[in-house]
Structure 1
Amino acid sequence: MVSRARERGRAGEVAAAVADPELPMLTLADLGILREVTETGDGRVVVTITPTYSGCPAMDAIRADLSAALRAAGYADVEIRTALTPPWTTDWIGEAGRRKLAAAGISPPGPAAPRAPGPVPVALGPVRRRPACPNCGSGETGEISRFGATACRSLWRCQACHEPFEHVKEI
């Protein structure tokens, strides 16, 4: 199931177009963290977002970017809320977002493992699947490092074209 933000009016369009600070080729809507945008009749906007994981360091930048974009669009009263349930999953990244990741040379995540309600365990064990190389499409890839530029990405190398690439981990 892909989460879709309930966007209302122009404020929803503005919020949906804000770029993610860690994956700037994606918008917050592409990433699936934009949950709801409510525009009231008196010019007030309430935006609800969900972090990709607890403690995500990009949340402060996301809040600031959302607020700045909405204020620049003429909304003086902006409130950014955080919703932790249900927790975000990489399954919420839309098809457009997956295409944008691949076009940028980043392997998009596969399907996330089913999980029970409650806290999401962080698995540091072996990788469940080998991602395809976003450069040549080969499935013959090997993990270089479990952690990349951010905790939600890992570093891989293609055995066919020998190019390194990042992969968005399945959460």
Structure 2
Amino acid sequence: MVTVLSRNRAWEVAAAVPDPELPMLTLADLGVLAEVSEQDGAVTAWITPTYSGCPAVAEMAADVDARLRAAGYHEVAVRLRLDPPWSTDLISAEGRRKLAEAGIAPPTAGGAPPAAGGLLRLGPTRRVVACPQCGSQDTEELSRFGSTACKSLWRCRSCREPFDRIKEI
């Protein structure tokens, strides 16, 4: 029999798994953990990768599986959910705070490009990006490509420090 308490416990266990590329965030902070259900003692966790080719998906799934098994769940399945797709709008306020504290500029809340005809519209975006070190808005993008596919490289003109920024998706 499934109880709300056991379903909440399974969620809490899976939600605490850190992201392998942004370890200051949990999968729940990042909005990657979409759902956790339990039926007759079997737990199914659904994760939505940040993009379909994300190289960290296998590690995320293995970590969720291992944490749930360590918590006493013996029958665990971790599934991928690609629809609806992940968006940076799913990053929690706590996750955005943790990113900034780690020196990574979070994406603009509500800043994902609007879909047109069901397709993601991509194009140049010039947003005011505050420096996570000093708070200055006098920043510039140095490279659209950063240390991972979801980041771009920026520099603050005030404090001269470089920083990563999570791209809106």
Shared fold, TM over 0.5: yes
CA–CA separation in structure 2 for the residues paired with 1:137 and 1:155 = 16
Residue 117 and residue 38 in structure 1: after superposition, are their counterparts in 2 closer, same or farther (change >3 A)? farther
Cα deviations across residues 35-58 of structure 1 (Å, max 9, x unaligned)? Answer: 1100123x2100011111111111
> Which of 111, 127, 145 is the aligned partner of 1:147?
145
CA RMSD of aligned residues (A): 1.5
Residue of structure 2 in register with 1:120 after alignment: 120
- Once the two structures are TM-superposed, the CA of residue 126 in structure 1 deviates from its matched residue by 3.2
CA–CA separation in structure 2 for the residues paired with 1:91 and 1:18 = 20
CA–CA separation in structure 1 for the residues paired with 2:16 and 2:148 = 22
Q: Secondary structure at the residue paired with 1:52?
A: coil
The answer to whether the Cα contact below 8 Å between 1:9 and 1:39 also exists between their aligned partners in 2 is: no
CA–CA separation in structure 2 for the residues paired with 1:118 and 1:78 = 33
CA–CA separation in structure 1 for the residues paired with 2:101 and 2:17 = 19
Q: How does 1:67-78 map to 2 (within 5 A)?
A: 67-78=65-76
Q: Secondary structure at the residue paired with 1:8?
A: helix
Identity %: 63
CA–CA separation in structure 2 for the residues paired with 1:64 and 1:142 = 37
Where in structure 1 are there 5+ consecutive unaligned residues? Answer: 1-6
> Which of 32, 43, 51 is the aligned partner of 1:45?
43
CA–CA separation in structure 2 for the residues paired with 1:144 and 1:130 = 14
- Give yes or no for the alignment of 1:94 onto 2:81: no
The answer to whether the Cα contact below 8 Å between 2:139 and 2:156 also exists between their aligned partners in 1 is: yes
CA–CA separation in structure 2 for the residues paired with 1:140 and 1:20 = 30
Residue 117 and residue 87 in structure 1: after superposition, are their counterparts in 2 closer, same or farther (change >3 A)? farther
Where in structure 2 are there 5+ consecutive unaligned residues? Answer: 1-5
- Once the two structures are TM-superposed, the CA of residue 149 in structure 1 deviates from its matched residue by 1.1
Q: Taking structure 1 as the reference length, what is the TM-score of the superposition? A: 0.89
Cα deviations across residues 84-141 of structure 1 (Å, max 9, x unaligned)? Answer: 11111100101000000000000000121221363435x3x53331311001111111
Q: Which contiguous aligned blocks of 4+ residues in structure 1 show a shift greater than 6 angstroms? A: none
Q: Taking structure 2 as the reference length, what is the TM-score of the superposition? A: 0.91
Residue of structure 1 in register with 2:164 after alignment: 166
